[in-house]
Amino acid sequence: MARKLILDVDPGIDDAVAICLALADPRLEVLAVTATGGNVSPQQATRNVQTVVEQLDPRRLPRTGAAPAEGLLTSDMRHLHGDDGLGDAEFRVAELHHLHPSDKVICDEVRAAPGDVTIVALGPLTNIASALQRDPDLATIVGHLIIMGGTVTAPGDVTAAAEFNIYSNPVAARIVFNSPVTKTLIPLDVTRKVTLTYDLLDQLPDEDSKTGALLRKILPFAFRAYRQNLGQEGIYVHDAVALAAAVHPELFETTAMCGDVETSGELTTGATIFDRRRVPGVRPNMEVAVDVDVSGVMDYILRGLTAAD
């Protein structure tokens, strides 16, 4: 039986890669792809979700959810993803109107299959926190929440202390961290170990396939942006790594920790703090990935993308 999945995303090139993998994987039943502001504005994130799903045109269309317009961003990642979040590829899309809010879609789908739905949160945790507040019992019926975000000992990527997704809405992240939902955090410490090199482009499906056409338009921008802005030849696909944790948890080493989020520090807003004392003062509230089988995850990503069509 396919695993029921909700993707909560802020597309983002690596979000698009993760969506491609999920929609093509027969082991997954993608119930919904919900948008949140992050890499781009909430409005653009909603448009990008519709764009990616429309470009891929999967046999079973997932529900889509609109990002909350009031979600103000403290920063974005357009320097790595383009002004439109998808490598400035200028896709045309038939924009849908009257979309349900993302948090409502999440609540509806979890309620329809209590205990069976895995949520993979690949952007700021705005929608997840809102869904938990909209439906206080939701935390007890989510099957599993996988969060891409935060750091344990690694430096941040938007400030010295903070990873982008958590920094973008630290209040929401704290709500989610302290909720009783069963959750696993996939931090930068792990996702940065997986780097895709330029020869990936030679392994993608042909341009006449839907997945190949999409990825060949957006991935070259990512390689150029990483070289120009970060001085590195390969790209990180943080969100695809987090999706791999849903499909192949055996590729990740995790440990139980108690994590929280700094919401008001002058230098540390958005930092994820873990009680790693020999005798912690509080009980663990999540599993945290501390290591990864890099070759196994890369194999999952490359095989998934090359076989997508």
Query: Could you give the CA distance from residue 7 to residue 114 in angstroms, rounded to a whole number?
Result: 17
13-24 and 210-230 helices cross at what angle (nearest 10)? 150
Q: Quick one: tokens of 256?
A: 């139980």
Query: Could you give the CA distance from residue 98 to residue 90 in angstroms, rounded to a whole number?
Result: 23
Q: Quick one: tokens of 227?
A: 């070289």
- Between the alpha carbon of residue 214 and those of residues 20, 200, 204, 218, the distances in Å are 9, 14, 10, 7
Annotated active-site residue 238? The verdict is yes
Could you tell me which residues are beta bridge partners of residue 55?
A: none
97, 100, 238, 248: which one is catalytic? 238
- Between the alpha carbon of residue 112 and those of residues 31, 58, 142, 278, the distances in Å are 11, 22, 11, 42
Q: Where in the sequence numbering do the catalytic residues fall?
A: 238
